[in-house]
A and B are shown apart, each in its own frame.
Chain A
Amino acid sequence: MGKLIGQRAIASLLSLLGLMVLVFFLSRLTGDPAVLFLPIDASEAMKAQFRALHGLDAPLIEQFGRYVLDLLQFNFGDSLRKARPAIDIVMEAYAWTLPLALITLSLVIVAAIVLGSIAAFNVGGFFDRLVSIVSLIGASAPDFWIAIVAIVVFSINLGWLPTSGVGTPWHWVLPISVLFIRPFGLIVQVVRGSMLSALSSAYVKTARAKGVKNLPIIFVHTLRNAMLPVITVIGDQAAAMLNGAVIVETIFGFPGIGKLMIDSILQRDFNVVLAAIMVTAVAIFIMNILIDIAYGILDPRIRH
């Protein structure tokens, strides 16, 4: 296991380097920060001074060399906008995104496993169809639209919940609910499908023949086997959430990594963009390792 993780870490480090180079040069194609940051009537001299101050006047390749040297000392550079270390800003944003992702994913997993199992247990029944239809509609609706409709209904018309921002637990309700919908639709379908095939296997028939009740069949016999494909989908969804829910965070004014990413791209705050992308890549790498460990726990065959 340790050796495997080591190999994976080296391969990931290589693609992380490739990503870093690509992002560094491509993001600098998107224009001159001096034009965006200085007032519109700023003179050429002021712009030149701004570029010199932030090291943007040197040839690209020299800027890149300097960046890599700094990076080797774990210095991600300063944010142009906030004049603070970029890595601090990214970490602060993660402190918001991580709980949001964790809470949402936990709710999704619990709900999807419970409802998906029940649906698989009475296949073709009313409840099964209800779950299928709801999950399909959930997977088909764009999240920005759901978010807007939710704001109109729950914040403006009913006045139950705040429209945006953070501060009280109530501010978390709408972002979590909107984020919940699509992963739930996907995962509940996978749970249902893999539960169905597990339920038709020989060991379940044996257990039934021995007179085992329904609940032990679900929780003792089938769930563990049915979880493997589910874990894969959960991994994909978790990766998407670590990337930040750009849309949801933007609409609800949630200061997470997704909002930081889009804001810093639009403001050409290159150091923050790079730091955010690299930290996200590392987070996704760690999560993939956790997923692999989960596989090992669920399926002894993989451990060996």
Chain B
Amino acid sequence: MTELSLTKLPPEKSGFATFLAMLWRDKLAFVSAMVLLLIIIAAVAGPTLLGDLATSQNLRGRNSPPFDMSRGWAFVLGGDSLGRPMLARLIVAARSTMMVAAGAVATALVIGATLGLIAGYMGKKTSQVIMRLADVIMSFPSLLLAVVVLYVLGPSIPNMILVLAITRIPIYLRTTRAEVLEVRERMFVQAAVVMGASHWRIIARHILPVVAPTLVTIATLDFAFVMLAESSLSFLGIGIQPPDITWGLMVAQGRPYLTNAWWLALWPGVMIVITTLALNLLSNWMRIALDPAQRWRLEARSTKDE
């Protein structure tokens, strides 16, 4: 069946349109993408729209239970220990949670991939130095790193990004290096070398496009991992510090009220689970969609269904 549809190639559509069509075919991945989009929109636009709703205290609404509309829509998920509406708090926390995770992943990706390209492309000596560096980073306990950075540089969102980025660099470094080592032996790279292409051109035009899909897939998965790591550190009290809030910190702040106001710790946890789950599902799909050798599975399926 798949062989049949392969021979009957669909009319060439623009890359983005095929991509969207492929996403639409996989309902789980599509729903995940929509959920993530919604969270991103809320994180970007939400805090501005809400104004000071998330910080205005209402001592009568202290620990007010969820699903009670008498205090207005903002209290639909209940109120926290100072009577601030949980829904608004969640949206404001979404921004810093996303910002920390995105910042850390982007920083680690850029630094790790650059070092990985150098380590894979240059000679053995440079590679050895870079790889030993990665080993030391990997064995360094991230808890201690967090305390060192927070104590020396002070607690702030950029410093939190720094801590998380440092711990994630080795992942990108190792993956990039391994792929580069394999790709640079392939025929088309050899051909480019013979034709006199510059190092820069070989890396940018021939090697990077092959490595990039793997990196993007790992970054999606890593986004979830970094989010969990940030929330764990914040939970332990060595991450984001109030008045900044993230979902992890909200769980920690809700912990003393477990017996009488369970919703304080429950909702932020649910948000973390939903976001990570969506990221995991999406990266599962991306692993196939972005791999030129496997993409036909999805494309074949979409032509078959039409």
**A interface, CB within 8 angstroms of B:** 15, 18-19, 22-23, 26-27, 29-31, 136-137, 139-145, 148-149, 151-152, 156, 243, 246-247, 250, 261-262, 265-266, 273, 277, 281
Contacts and interface: CB of A to CB of B under 8 A. Distances in A.
B276 A15 contact: no
B141 interface: yes
24 contacts: A18-B132, A19-B136, A23-B141, A23-B144, A30-B148, A137-B273, A139-B276, A140-B276, A140-B277, A142-B231, A142-B272, A143-B232, A145-B269, A148-B265, A149-B269, A156-B258, A246-B143, A246-B236, A247-B236, A261-B143, A262-B143, A262-B236, A266-B147, A277-B141
A136 B136 contact: no
A15 B235 contact: no
Contacts of B281: 136
Nearest to B276: A140
Nearest to A18: B136
A140 B231 CA distance: 13
Given A23-B144, A152-B258, A265-B144, A250 B151 contact: no
Given A18-B136, A137-B277, A148 B255 contact: yes
A265 B150 CA distance: 12
B143 A136 contact: no
B269 A29 contact: no
B29 to A, nearest CB: 13
B224 interface: yes
A145 B148 contact: no
Contacts of A247: 232, 235-236
Interface string B149-180: 00110000000000000000000000000000
A261 B280 contact: no
A15 B255 contact: no
A7 B295 CA distance: 43
A26 B144 contact: yes
Interface residues of B, number: 36
A144 B151 contact: no
Interface of B: 132, 135-136, 139-141, 143-145, 147-148, 151-152, 224, 228, 231-232, 235-236, 238, 248, 251-252, 255, 258-259, 262, 265-266, 269, 272-273, 276-277, 280-281
Contact of A22 (B136, B259, B269, B273): B136
Nearest to B138: A15
A265 B151 contact: no
A265 B152 CA distance: 14
Contact of B144 (A27, A141, A250): A27
A145 B236 contact: no
A142 to B, nearest CB: 5
A151 B269 contact: no
Given A31-B151, A151-B258, A22 B140 contact: yes
A262 B280 CA distance: 29
B148 A15 contact: no
A29 B139 contact: no
Residue among B141, B231, B266, B281 with most chain A CB within 10 A: B141
Contacts of B228: 142
Contacts of B151: 29-31
A31 B135 CA distance: 27
A19 B140 CA distance: 7
A19 B273 contact: no
A145 B265 contact: yes
A238 B9 CA distance: 48
B272 A265 contact: no
A70 B306 CA distance: 75
A269 to B, nearest CB: 12
Contact of B141 (A139, A149, A243): A243
Contacts of A152: 258-259, 262
Contacts of A15: 132, 135-136, 139
A156 B260 CA distance: 11
A22 B144 CA distance: 11
A145 B251 contact: yes
B256 to A, nearest CB: 11
Contact of A281 (B139, B251, B258, B269): B139
Contacts of A148: 251, 255, 258, 265, 269
A277 B145 CA distance: 13
Nearest to A153: B262
Given A15-B135, A151-B258, 14 more contacts: A18-B132, A19-B136, A136-B280, A137-B273, A142-B235, A142-B273, A144-B252, A145-B273, A243-B141, A246-B232, A247-B236, A261-B141, A262-B143, A262-B236
Nearest to B136: A18
Contacts of A143: 232
A161 to B, nearest CB: 15
Contacts of B231: 142, 144
Nearest to B278: A140
B224 A140 contact: yes
A148 B139 CA distance: 29
A277 B236 CA distance: 19
